[in-house]
Amino acid sequence: MRKLLLLVVLSLSVNIQAQSPENTGTYYKTAHGKKGEALKTALYNIVKDPSVVHYDSLWFVYTFTDMHPEGYLWDMYSNTTRYPDPTDKTLHKNNYEGSGINREHSMPKSWFNPEDRDSRGKLTYKDVKPMYSDVMHVIPTDGYINNMRNDLSYGETTEPTKGSANYFSVVGPCSLDDFYGYTIFEPNDEYKGYLERIYFYLATCYEPLVGTWTSDMFDADSDEGYQPFSQWAMDMLRKWSKEDGVSDKERARNDAVWLAQGNRNPFVDYPGLEDYVWFDRIDEPFSYDGTDASTPIAVTPAKTTEIPLNNSFFGTRLNTSRSYWERFPFIGERDGVTVKYAYGCEGKNMYVNNTQMRFYTNNTLTFSTEHDLITSIELNVVKNDANRVFKASTGEMDGYKWTGEAKEVQFQLEYASAGVVQINNAKVEVVPAPDTGIVEFAVTPVEDGFIYNLMGVRVDADQLRPGIYIRNGRKFVVR
């Protein structure tokens, strides 16, 4: 059964490749036409808040995200292991290569919020969640080789000191400029691009947090949210991307992770996307569907729109019910308002039929708009088994009506209890976002480290006043 499921996923990935990423529907639509830093933030808003499973549940998730078609676990650190069942607890060892498997944080968990430790100095997964169990980057590997890697940075070495069997992956002094001589872990060429795209995903999915992460691969002086990596690491990751393109295995795993936690890696769906985000194509608008990206998608939201919350709106089948392991969200759009119905962190149920959606503990219902502000949302609740109360990510709740001003509002239930809430539609009011009065002028990017205002006039650092400025071709705000 598991082999059959992976073969289905592999078949699906081939279709995606043949049809281009367009058959992900409108998943990436809000990134259309964006450039550089704005594109990265748009991608963050698309892939953020994955519905990660509990760390202990990853063993089961691996049975459909990481099984080789020949029936053993795919290992990116060792090419000799043949583990048939990741849920077999007798295999969770690291005595020697081939003795067992681990859940490997491709970006070590010790890099996440290192100041948040318990009284014994140890991180707990509560402190680092959801990164701790994000299956996009927590991969199954041989336990012994995982232990050999420890929390070393990825890198390249010409003089390995130790490694896995056949030196498939190795440890040794870094041979790259600016990090020369430091001990690193070098994965095999076969998976370098794969791991690079995982790192670019992490920098995007956790954009607000990445500035708190600490390692030799990060630059404390960099523009944290936009480009957090040290220059040597960024140059290496880009090289790995070019030298090791997206594989069928990578596409299949991306589809399986979408099933497992409801988000995707855009750097897998769009090979070369990093050039639009950080490198030599940052001045080119991104097209999510192959159409002309220089012409923005027309958005004409109604002042008030009625949104049905049923299978037709979300594009599901009649009486669609999902198991715990089918976690990709339902997404629909009307009049410029996008609605996302998802598991939420450790949710357990989702259900939509021809008349309604059901809302369970830990589910999330998110309303968002790109160009305008949402000012009110009134949920039409047709049944509330336990009189459960909604909470919103911002604004104010009065029963089932929310008011405020926001581009995105997420609803959850205030407390856990038995029963289910049934909702058949929502009335959403939007207004145009206020004009900031800021007029921007074209400024030729200058890589000299000096600061310029929007008129292109150089400003000394000690003379900065609140406003928008440009340094090395990028904007920053002084408040």
pLDDT of residue 18: 30
80, pLDDT greater than 50: yes
Mean pLDDT calculated for residue range 81-108: 95
115, pLDDT greater than 90: no
Using one digit for the tens of pLDDT, what is the confidence trace for 37-67? 999 999 999 999 998 988 999 999 999 999 9
Which of 203, 231, 230 is CA-nearest to residue 217?
A: 230
Residue 277, classified by CB atoms within 10 Å of its CB into exposed (0-12), middle (13-18) or buried (19+), is buried
For 118, the token pair is 């318990």
Q: DSSP label at 393?
A: S
Q: What is the spatial distance between Cα 245 and Cα 362, in angstroms, rounded to a whole number?
A: 37
Q: What is the spatial distance between Cα 123 and Cα 110, in angstroms, rounded to a whole number?
A: 7
pLDDT of residue 129: 75
> Based on C-alpha coordinates, what's the Rg of the chain?
24
pLDDT of residue 25: 79
Name, of 28-37, 157-166, 378-387, 430-439, the range with top average pLDDT: 157-166
Using one digit for the tens of pLDDT, what is the confidence trace for 245-298? 999 999 999 999 998 998 999 999 999 999 999 999 999 999 998 888 877 666
Average pLDDT over the chain, rounded to an integer: 85
Contact 354, 345 (CB under 8 A): no
pLDDT bin (cut points 50, 70, 90) of residue 163 is very high
pLDDT bin (cut points 50, 70, 90) of residue 12 is very low
C-alpha distances out from residue 251 to 4, 16, 18, 197, 465, Å = 17, 8, 12, 12, 48
122, pLDDT greater than 80: no
Mean pLDDT calculated for residue range 406-413: 94
pLDDT of residue 278: 95
More confident residue, 26 or 302: 26
Query: What is the pTM for the complete model shown?
Result: 0.80
Q: What is the spatial distance between Cα 71 and Cα 104, in angstroms, rounded to a whole number?
A: 20
75, pLDDT greater than 70: yes
For 435, the token pair is 């004009």
pLDDT bin (cut points 50, 70, 90) of residue 433 is confident
Instruction: Classify 71 in phi/psi space as left (phi over 0), alpha (psi -120 to 50) or beta.
Output: left
**E-assigned strand segments in 265-371:** 304-308, 320-322, 330-334, 337-342, 350-352, 357-359, 364-369
Using one digit for the tens of pLDDT, what is the confidence trace for 172-202? 999 999 899 999 999 999 999 999 999 999 9
pLDDT of residue 146: 97
Contact 27, 19 (CB under 8 A): no
Using one digit for the tens of pLDDT, what is the confidence trace for 203-236? 999 998 888 888 999 986 666 678 899 999 999 9
Strands 304-308 and 183-186: unpaired
pLDDT of residue 455: 58
pLDDT of residue 355: 93
pLDDT of residue 295: 73
Contact 470, 452 (CB under 8 A): yes
361, pLDDT greater than 70: yes
460, pLDDT greater than 80: no
pLDDT of residue 211: 85
Q: b/e map of 21-53 (b: 16 or more CB within 10 Å)?
A: beebebbbbbbbbbbbbbbbbbbbbbbebbbbb
Mean pLDDT calculated for residue range 92-117: 88
User: Sign of the C-alpha dihedral, residues 28, 34, 38, 39?
Assistant: positive
Q: DSSP label at 73?
A: B
300, pLDDT greater than 70: no
pLDDT over 90, % of the chain: 59
Using one digit for the tens of pLDDT, what is the confidence trace for 304-318? 999 999 999 998 776
